Chain A
């Protein structure tokens, strides 16, 4: 039973990766956006390589993770393939996990490539193998978290993915600026540190600081726990919202007269 369910999730994940990786919004918001944001942040400024590394990895991880998950449901609602999936022996959980897995894998793969390239380019050294593991754990957790965040926003039952991308960006950018990527938390006034708690990227950035130069603000355990708390909360909220809004994706097409 579980094996069958995992098989279906894997098939959905493969389909999501095949169909959406080359989609315009995914390329633009997943790859081009973090690239140009990094350029505008770094060029002409005297920023340490460690800070640049942390910024790029955190931004890539967050942007790539939130690239696929918001577009799958609106596009499939428009193309009617979502109804095909719903009438198959697939549960809502499997549909959502298929999207989360695709989005997470996409983020982990791209972020890992960028991380390895930057480590080689900046000649960075991580002191122990456990730090490499923690770094990968952070990237993995952020990939899941970002996928869930994108999926949560996609709970708005529209078949127009442009509307969803506007909503996603409306959520993403404030979270990015609050996170301490551009300014370390220990340089912020205390009230802004409290504000940074709203952004889950804060805890990834802090975890990356722990790995790179040990300049973390919170403890490592706190960062990991907070990322997990965010993941659990986003999954529960996302599931509840999608359970409610999934039928509405089809009720909108009914041309009914009021009785």
Chain B
């Protein structure tokens, strides 16, 4: 039988001791849908008490990774997941008790009341009736939902539904929380409330895995960021490190006065790493001085007036775009070869 070699396998004793703190270890995660490879040979681990963000464009494989982790999809034969040191294949349904999952869209039963949802969820996780009552009361009070206890879930607003999801996820007191776009579509007050709750849960020792499109949110709350593109992790670093790594890069913002011909647009796009939206131009630059000089030269040659020129440090959002673009370029070059 062919021996499977896991990318994250650690043989060194000291390293093994460090790895003991890992609550999630994922090896060679792969998922195909027919010809489509949604996740390809992805390996990562998450330490206890960390908040790890998975970032990536649509179709990057974030949700598929979560679904593989939570058992919605079956693992391929060469993939392996360990939760709290246990191979999930050994106990496929019981390991799920370690997770509390907060989805992007509320998945509480809409015809059930808040209390019925809590009772159902607690029962499924094998919690006694008394404990369900006690914990529900505590959680619903903590999240300001106690006055809605007998309201049907379908009558709640999106923000309240998301709070209910958080209560449902925490009811069985899981050590790991998985949040899929938890603040998507919420108003700023609810976003702030959710963010504070996530940080509070981290303080309580919960390990949190979060998928998000919101770079600012990731920058604020994550200890580590995994950037995914086309099913692969292309970066696995702390937000600070990522920003430091790309410190040498800058963003140049400017506008062009008057009509811009198609030819000029083509020249701009071919000369610089540039994007345009409603007359606002964004140039991702590795050498701002040279790029500004070239831009000035071009404006003289083409007789165009550049206005509102601004130079900005790279945000995590721009790091993300840099990485995705670099990854795409690399892939294009590879396929051309």
Contacts and interface: CB of A to CB of B under 8 A. Distances in A.
Interface of A: 4, 7-8, 11, 15, 18-19, 79-81, 83-91, 247, 250-251, 254-259
Contact of B71 (A87, A251, A258, A259): A87
B248 interface: no
A87 B120 contact: no
Nearest to A7: B123
B230 interface: yes
B124 A247 contact: no
B112 A19 contact: yes
Interface of B: 33, 35-38, 58-59, 63-64, 67, 70-74, 92-94, 96-97, 99, 101, 103, 105-112, 116, 120-121, 123-126, 230-231
A19 B111 contact: yes
A257 B59 contact: yes
Contacts of A87: 70-72, 96, 99, 101
A19 B73 contact: no
A91 B101 CA distance: 17
Interface of B is mostly: loop
Contacts of A79: 107, 109-110
A259 B108 CA distance: 35
A11 B99 contact: no
B124 A89 contact: yes
A89 B125 contact: yes
B107 A18 contact: no
Given A15-B120, A89-B124, A247-B74, A81 B59 contact: no
Chain B CB within 10 Å, residue with most, of A18, A88, A254: A88
Nearest to A257: B59
B42 to A, nearest CB: 14
B108 A91 contact: no
Given A80-B107, A81-B107, A83-B107, A259 B36 contact: yes
Contacts of B101: 84, 87
A161 to B, nearest CB: 15
Contacts of B105: 80
Contacts of B63: 254
B45 to A, nearest CB: 21
Contacts of B112: 15, 18-19
